[in-house]
Amino acid sequence: MGGVNVKNTMIEALMQKVAPHPCFGCGKIGTPLCHNCKNNITTEPFVGCILCGNASPEGLCAQHDVPICKAWVASERRTVLRRVINAYKFENVKASAHTFVDLLDDTLPILPANTVIVPVPTAPSHVRQRGYDHLDILTRLLSQKREMPATRLLQRSSVKTQHQLNKLERQQEAKVAFRVNKTSEVAFDTPLLLLDDIITTGSTVTSCAQALADAGFKTIFVAALAYQPLD
C-alpha cells in the first residue's frame, strides 16, 4: 500500500489531543463521531442490493449476474453519516478514518482467514486535490484492525471520474476504468474483500469485481461505508 505522510499524521494526532473534534451527530467534544452516535448508525445498516436498492440480506439480488459473492454496507449516506463522510473527503478531517473503520468492522462478519483487502483505486485527480488518498488510509486501518493483508491489486486505466455522470455514463465509464496489476503475486484462490467508501449505482465495484474475475479470482466480497442511490 502507498505511504501516508508520517509528519502530517503525527500533527493530526497532536491536534486531536489539543483541540479534539466535536461529534458530527450530537456535538459532544472528543471525536468526529461519539460512541452513541456511532451506535445509532450501526443499528440501522443498509440491508439491500448494492445495484438496485431492493431488500437483500446478501447485498445483491438474484437477478444480477455479477462476480460478487456478497456485499456489506454500513448504512445509507444520509444525515450524520453524510456529514462525517463529506468532512473526511472534502474538509481534511482525517480523524474520521478511525470511526469509519469501526463502522466497517462492526458491519463485516468473520471472513476467511486468508482474505486480502483490495481498495478501489482512487482517481489521481482526487488524490491531488485532497492531498491524500482517503481509501488508502481506510484500507491500512482496516488491515490493522482485522489483521488482514491488503494490496493494490487494481489499477486505474482511465483518469476520468464519475462525478456528475448519470447512471448509464457511470456504467460505460466503469467498464474501461480498471485493470488488474499484472505484477501481483496474489493466488487466484485467495478470497478478496473489495473496499469502497460510497456505492451509488454499483458500477464501480461491479467493474472492479469483473476485472478481478476475468483475471482468474474466484471469491470476491464487497464492503463499503455507505449506499446512496443516484438522484
- Residue ranges per structural domain of the chain: 6-227
Output the pLDDT for position 20: 76
Nearest to 194 by CA among 100, 119, 111: 119
Q: How many residues does the chain have?
A: 231
Output the pLDDT for position 184: 82
Instruction: State how far the Cα of 218 lies from the Cα of 229, in Å rounded to an integer.
Output: 28
Identify how many contiguous H helices and E strands the chain contains and give both numbers.
Answer: 8, 6
Residue pLDDT tens, the chain, 231 long: 544 444 444 445 544 554 578 999 999 998 899 999 999 998 888 999 999 999 999 999 989 999 999 999 999 999 999 999 999 999 889 889 999 999 999 999 999 999 999 999 998 888 888 888 999 999 999 999 999 999 999 998 865 554 555 555 555 555 667 999 887 889 999 999 999 999 999 999 999 999 999 999 999 999 999 999 876
- Tell me 194's DSSP state: E
Output the pLDDT for position 162: 47
3-state secondary structure of 102: helix
Predicted model pTM: 0.85
> 220 CB contacts (<8 Å, ≥6 apart)?
67, 68, 69, 191, 192, 194, 209, 212, 213
CA–CA distances in Å: residue 26 to residues 32, 80, 124, 172: 10, 9, 34, 41
The CATH number of domain 6-227, selected from 2.60.40, 3.30.43, 3.30.450, 3.40.50: 3.40.50
**Residue 201 near residue 27, CB atoms below 8 Å:** no
36 CB neighbour count, 10 Å cutoff: 11
Instruction: State how far the Cα of 175 lies from the Cα of 179, in Å rounded to an integer.
Output: 10
- Tell me 161's DSSP state: -
